[in-house]
A and B are shown apart, each in its own frame.
Chain A
Amino acid sequence: MANLNTDSIKNRTYDAIVIGSGISGGWAAKELTGKGLKTLVLERGRDVKHVTDYPTTFKNPWEFEHRGQVPLEITKANPIISRCYAFREDAMHFFVKDQEHPYVQEKPFDWIRGYQVGGKSLLWARHTQRWSDFDFEGPARDGFAVDWPIRYKDIAPWYSYVEKFAGISGNKDGLPELPDGDFLPPLELNCVEKYFKEQVKSKYSDRHVIISRCAHLTEPQAIHHQQGRGKCQNRVLCQRGCPYGGYFSSNASTLPWAAKTGNLTMRPQAMVQSIIYDDQKGKATGVRIIDAITKEAIEFYAPVIFVNAAAINTNLILLNSTSSRFPNGLGNDSGVLGKYVAFHNYRARVSGSYDGFLDTTTDGRRPTSGYIPRFRNVFKQETDFLRGYAAGFSANRGQYQSRTGLGAELKENLLIPKLGNWNVGSHMMGETIPKETNTLSLDPTLKDEWGIPQLRFNIGYDDNDEKMVKDYLEQISDMFTKAGFKNITASDSKQAPGLDIHEMGGARMGKDPKTSILNGWNQMHACKNVFVTDGACMTSTATQNPSLTYMALTARAADYAVKELKKRNI
């Protein structure tokens, strides 16, 4: 019996455990297995195998019973997820339904989740801009949050490292506020976008329009072929999963790579209940899960643990990992765990039309858009709000049919497509200031189906956000006007936080253990063998789409962790 028990524990012991298999968890798995560690990846959702588990990927639009629309019964039962732009008939199977995973909204928060192997890396919008020191130095310069413990020089080589493997397309624009990376050839701005770029350049010294850097293989290299990935085919059906591996996802890239080492064990349907802390050893010893199907509690053990459950669930796991040493959550000596949560402000849009370039249109499809890097308060403080916003920008030629008449006349009209004016549009991606009052906490009584406490969200906008929305609407409208665009419409959706799907913080990095959870290596100040490298680690949000930074931080932290393990420091 005793032997059986010892064997059982041995069978559940690994060199490393990674919680989560999304964009950062996939990177942790790749790096740790690549360095020879037998690694267990715990994924709360079902398995999704590359290509074979993309059931809609080869479907034509007419093969969807409701032509893409989600049936009413589903949208009514799931109002939150139904607000997400990608929750459509072709990809709804990759999203969590509201009813199945409830949470408490002290303030409205649209929590968009993808519980499966690969997580939201299957669904992301694939924009990948580097941060600059104007972002890392932000909190210190402008006196909010705490100082980042790292600077651009610390992460720059790791950006290059992940860019080369993931495959990032982009143009070397030479902008100090948006450093160039190791790029595959860029996608193309269309005529009207190029025109706008020139107009902006001639009228503003500090504003730029570029093609967004994005995780698409425009010209796959040997390293991508080795992953079994091929060139992006411009389908722009990415949310269904890409059969070519044309965009980066854990499923297409890091997880199969990790599996090839022979060091990876994937454990889907594993809901992490908590991280086990041993008071005597003074470190974490493993992870307690609840099997999603059988509801059995199982413990797994390893000398190093990476937490990559996605920002919000990472907070939940840490808050729920209590011990006599850490009664308020793992590593939470400072009391800041679950606080200073921030996100990107996506409320505002400006649209318009342009009546030039009527002799041109676009042909084929493009999986990204134009991008306007932050131009407010970059080099110095110049407005009555802190920080600023980046913006998406794109133009496309509208196509329509006359719907006049009935019978043969109507049919004739419908069969002759007509080109309208060019439509132009922009959306805001605003930096929000992490505040102590923007919090995630555990509900004292409510639990989910697996007995895990439900999260309470208390996250909202502030006056700085309101001023920024106003400024974005004014500035972009102004830029559109100067470019000669017509029918300019500025709108504020007032949408709740969450739909940006860029939630960050709660277990922030910092120099001082009294005011932060993680050090400059994403390592817990107070529990050295636990690393948090997903969005929960973020000290501030900058304006860039954050996934590339999570990838770089993860690879960097994994490298450090393995070195520390070898030195027996953890």
Chain B
Amino acid sequence: MKRRTALKSLALVLGGTLSLPAWANAWNADTLSGNLNQLVSPDQQALLAEIVETIIPATNTPGAKDLGVHRFILTMLADCYEKSAQNRFVEGLTELDETVKAHYGKSFVTCSPAQRLEILKAREEAAKILPPEKEPFFPFLKNITIQGYLNSEYVMREVYKYELVPGRYNGCFPVTASAKK
């Protein structure tokens, strides 16, 4: 409603025609950086997809894999992190899968969803008691997965109701009304 009002007001300003230029087209998961494969192999990319899906699975709403969170992580790593952080991450990924193979006799991606969750839960428990320098991988993985998930279009738009054009500010808004939104 508010957005429509705002768009109408924009149309007014622009002289009645509302056509958006080409650059206004939305970014989507397929247009992400081409650098992805420079960091990891296709197999590792598939592994990461299953890991983020285990951390935030599809339920009655999409999970991290469907939202492309693994691709987001690889884009961020490639473009916004030091080489050392990139190496730590790729090593962590490799090491995780090797450990899984040793314990389960198969790779993470062929484990059942219950096994995958068990593996990551054990990993998180271990991370809690280890000093950060001994376990730099898992806490980073979990945080950046959450970052990608919370900043995905789905969560921002559908859950958190992000508004590009609020058209208002209410400085004393009742919390109950806020919760209802």
Contact = CB atoms under 8 A, between A and B. Distances in A.
A in complex with B: yes
What are the 6 tightest A-B residue pairs by CB atom distance, in nearest-first order? A190-B171, A363-B173, A364-B168, A63-B27, A364-B166, A366-B169
B27 A62 contact: yes
Contacts of B129: none
20 contacts: A59-B24, A60-B156, A60-B164, A67-B76, A188-B170, A230-B9, A230-B10, A233-B165, A244-B6, A245-B13, A359-B175, A360-B173, A363-B177, A364-B166, A364-B170, A403-B142, A411-B56, A414-B155, A415-B159, A419-B178
B6 A65 contact: no
Contacts of B20: 58
Contacts of B33: 65
Interface of A: 51-52, 55, 58-67, 69-73, 187-191, 193-194, 228-231, 233-235, 237, 243-245, 357-366, 401, 403, 406-408, 410-411, 414-415, 417, 419
Contacts of B102: none
A233 B10 CA distance: 10
B82 interface: yes
A193 B177 CA distance: 21
A88 to B, nearest CB: 12
B153 A62 contact: yes
A230 B171 contact: no
B169 A362 contact: yes
Nearest to A60: B164
Given A66-B75, A245-B13, A188 B169 contact: yes
A362 B117 contact: no
B89 interface: no
Interface stretch (B41-49, B90-98, B104-112, B144-152): B144-152
Contacts of A359: 174-176
A65 B34 CA distance: 12
B160 interface: yes
A193 B153 contact: no
Contacts of A415: 61, 155, 159
Contacts of B172: 190-191, 194, 357, 360, 362
A362 B173 contact: yes
Given A65-B32, A188-B170, A234-B169, 14 more contacts: A51-B14, A52-B21, A59-B24, A65-B75, A67-B151, A72-B79, A73-B79, A187-B169, A231-B9, A233-B6, A234-B166, A362-B170, A410-B55, A417-B160
Interface string B50-77: 0000111101010100000000100110
Given A230-B13, A415-B159, A64 B27 contact: yes
A52 B19 CA distance: 11
Contact of B178 (A60, A235, A363, A411): A363
A55 B175 contact: no
B126 interface: no
A414 B146 contact: yes
B175 A244 contact: no
Contacts of A245: 13
A66 B9 contact: no
B151 A62 contact: yes
A59 B163 CA distance: 11
A469 B130 CA distance: 41
A406 B173 contact: no
